[in-house]
């Protein structure tokens, strides 16, 4: 671990956030003597961000915890274009109203994790549509275009990988990196922003913004990226077999969110506690050292702490209580996902898929054949089994040891 003077870089380093920094010495000195406004940009392509974005949100939280100013940039303008980074195909373009609705929904999570206001280190949320939609095309070509070469743009992973696979990359998406670079310049002008942070796949875009600002206005800006975040088994953060792990309450029940963290790989516990909770490092070291069945205690702490931050204390307490009732007591906690099948009932395969336990009826059949499916703790082995609870009856559906739900009429 490198020795830093500033609280900001020291905290980011000891908790495992730092992958690359453009000029760590200069940024460290700057952060040690003054408030550094720093930003991260987020797409507005859905009503919620998912767990894959949480490490970036936590970076903004760390920025504020060490006395600096977080700038949350919602991509109302760039969402109209689409970021090709890490994508195999073009994104569906949204209407302006849909984008604004998404931004309003996404803001609710940031309000739990950051303090917004007018103070020197209070967070602000801005929409890059404010300036990008006002840019004249000829003006952009004349003022910004000369600072980019197609030769260099073609070397960026977000472009090169798409072309190597012979997949279409529209001219619209090709312009995305220019718009993101311009964002950094505009934020420096408007808010005195000195730092852009992001995932490792954003390194090229961040460097573009730094170079553009230096060439056009002689500004000294900085960039910092996090490592590519995957689980111990190599899976991408935020994705599960049954879909994305959404941060917003109305996109994913609190119990499912809590269970995602409770079910993490033993090898990920310490790393996740550092990245996604505010627990002191000495407490994390003790939890990380637990072995055997005791590591599950550390996972419960992880699930509780992350759920408290993202969903609130009540959600964490209810989710843990449901888990205890379901797993320890053999009952069926009221916070479990539920499905009403109607008076005529529903075949077990369709039930498993409809409630989100399996991705398809084919997968459901395989799970039934494996003996992994139970209703009220009795194994279901017939793929055509009709699930038909009586009026007022609630059945507990289980898939393996970790997925449980409630079936009603």
pLDDT tens-digit map of 206-256: 998 999 999 999 999 999 999 988 888 888 887 665 578 999 999 988 988
DSSP 236: B
What average pLDDT does range 385-404 have in this prediction?
A: 80
Structure tokens at 380: 């279901």
Confidence of residue 88 (pLDDT cuts 50, 70, 90): very low
Q: List pLDDT tens digits, range 104-159.
A: 999 999 999 999 999 999 999 999 999 988 887 778 777 887 877 777 777 776 67
> What pTM did the predictor assign?
0.79
pLDDT at 152 (0 to 100): 77
Taking CA atoms, 43 is separated from 13, 77, 107, 129, 218, in Å, by 26, 9, 12, 12, 29
Average pLDDT of the chain is: 87
What average pLDDT does range 294-304 have in this prediction?
A: 94
Residue 37's beta-bridge partner residues?
Answer: 69
The pairing of strands 37-42 and 195-199 is parallel
pLDDT at 83 (0 to 100): 54
pLDDT at 82 (0 to 100): 59
pLDDT at 166 (0 to 100): 76
Interatomic CA distance for residues 242 and 215, integer angstroms: 47
3-state secondary structure of 122: coil
Nearest CA-CA partner of 132 in 86, 187, 213, 174: 187
The values of phi and psi at residue 98, to 5°, are -65, -40
The full length of the chain comes to: 409
Q: List pLDDT tens digits, range 169-201.
A: 777 667 777 888 899 999 999 999 999 999 998
Interatomic CA distance for residues 180 and 182, integer angstroms: 5
3-state secondary structure of 338: strand
Residue 114: partners with Cβ closer than 8 Å, 6 or more residues away: 60, 61, 64, 70, 72, 123
Taking CA atoms, 119 is separated from 29, 70, 123, in Å, by 22, 11, 8
pLDDT at 407 (0 to 100): 87
Interatomic CA distance for residues 373 and 371, integer angstroms: 6
The values of phi and psi at residue 72, to 5°, are -90, 115
pLDDT at 120 (0 to 100): 95
Residue 176 is inside which H or E element, if any? helix 176-191
Residue % of the chain over a pLDDT of 90: 48
Helices (H) and strands (E) in the chain, counts: 18, 15
pLDDT at 57 (0 to 100): 97
Interatomic CA distance for residues 63 and 65, integer angstroms: 6
Question: Higher confidence at residue 144 or residue 301?
Answer: 301
Interatomic CA distance for residues 207 and 236, integer angstroms: 25
Nearest CA-CA partner of 183 in 215, 218, 208, 152: 208
Residue 364: partners with Cβ closer than 8 Å, 6 or more residues away: 348, 349, 350, 352, 353, 357, 358, 373, 383
Lowest-pLDDT choice from 18-32, 200-214, 218-232, 383-397: 383-397
pLDDT at 174 (0 to 100): 72
Structure tokens at 392: 């007022």
| Helix, strand, coil shares, percent, the chain, to 5 | 50, 15, 35
Structure tokens at 191: 């808010």
Interatomic CA distance for residues 225 and 38, integer angstroms: 12
Interatomic CA distance for residues 342 and 47, integer angstroms: 29
DSSP 51: G
- Is the pLDDT at 346 greater than 90? The verdict is no
The values of phi and psi at residue 82, to 5°, are 100, 125
Query: What are the start-end ranges of the H helices in 347-401?
Result: 348-354, 361-369
Residue 109: partners with Cβ closer than 8 Å, 6 or more residues away: 48, 49, 57, 247, 248, 310
Residue position matching structure tokens 């009952």: 331
Query: Would you give the distance in Å from CA 304 to the centre of its chain?
Result: 18
pLDDT at 190 (0 to 100): 96
Confidence of residue 10 (pLDDT cuts 50, 70, 90): very high
């Amino acid at each position: 671990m490198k020795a830093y003077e500033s609280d900001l870089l020291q905290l980011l380093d000891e908790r495992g956030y730092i992958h690359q920094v453009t000029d760590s010495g200069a940024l460290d000195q700057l952060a040690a003597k003054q408030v550094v406004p720093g930003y991260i940009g987020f797409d507005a392509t859905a009503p919620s961000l998912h767990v894959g974005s949480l490490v970036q949100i936590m970076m903004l939280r760390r920025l504020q915890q060490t006395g600096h100013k977080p700038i949350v940039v919602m991509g109302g303008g760039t969402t109209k274009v689409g970021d090709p980074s890490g994508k195999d195909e073009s994104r569906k373009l949204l209407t302006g109203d849909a984008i604004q609705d998404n931004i309003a929904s996404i803001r609710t999570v940031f309000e739990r994790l950051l303090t917004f206001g007018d103070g020197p280190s209070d967070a602000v949320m801005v929409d890059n549509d404010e300036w990008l939609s006002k840019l004249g095309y000829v003006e952009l070509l004349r003022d910004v275009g000369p600072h980019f070469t197609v030769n260099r743009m073609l070397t960026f992973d977000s472009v090169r990988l798409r072309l190597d696979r012979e997949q279409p990359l529209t001219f619209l998406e090709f312009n995305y990196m220019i718009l993101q670079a311009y964002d950094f310049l505009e934020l420096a002008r408007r808010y005195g922003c000195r730092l852009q942070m992001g995932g490792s796949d954003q390194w090229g875009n961040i460097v573009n913004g730094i170079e553009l600002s230096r060439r056009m206005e002689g500004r000294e800006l900085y960039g910092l990226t996090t490592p590519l975040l995957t689980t111990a088994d190599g899976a991408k953060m935020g994705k599960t077999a049954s879909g994305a792990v959404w941060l917003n309450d109305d996109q994913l029940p609190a119990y499912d969110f809590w269970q995602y963290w409770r079910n993490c790989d033993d090898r990920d516990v310490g790393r996740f506690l550092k990245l996604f909770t505010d627990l002191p490092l000495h407490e994390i070291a003790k939890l990380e050292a637990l072995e055997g069945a005791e590591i599950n205690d550390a996972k419960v702490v992880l699930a509780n702490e992350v759920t408290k931050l993202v969903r609130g204390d009540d959600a964490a307490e209810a989710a843990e209580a449901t888990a205890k009732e379901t797993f320890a007591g053999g009952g069926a906690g009221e916070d479990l996902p539920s499905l009403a099948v109607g008076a005529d009932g529903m075949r077990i395969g369709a039930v498993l898929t409809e409630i989100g336990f399996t991705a398809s009826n084919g997968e459901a059949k395989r799970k039934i054949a494996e003996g992994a499916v139970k209703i009220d703790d009795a194994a279901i082995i017939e793929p055509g089994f009709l699930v038909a609870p009586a009026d007022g009856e609630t059945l507990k559906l289980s898939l393996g040891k970790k997925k449980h739900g409630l079936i009603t009429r």
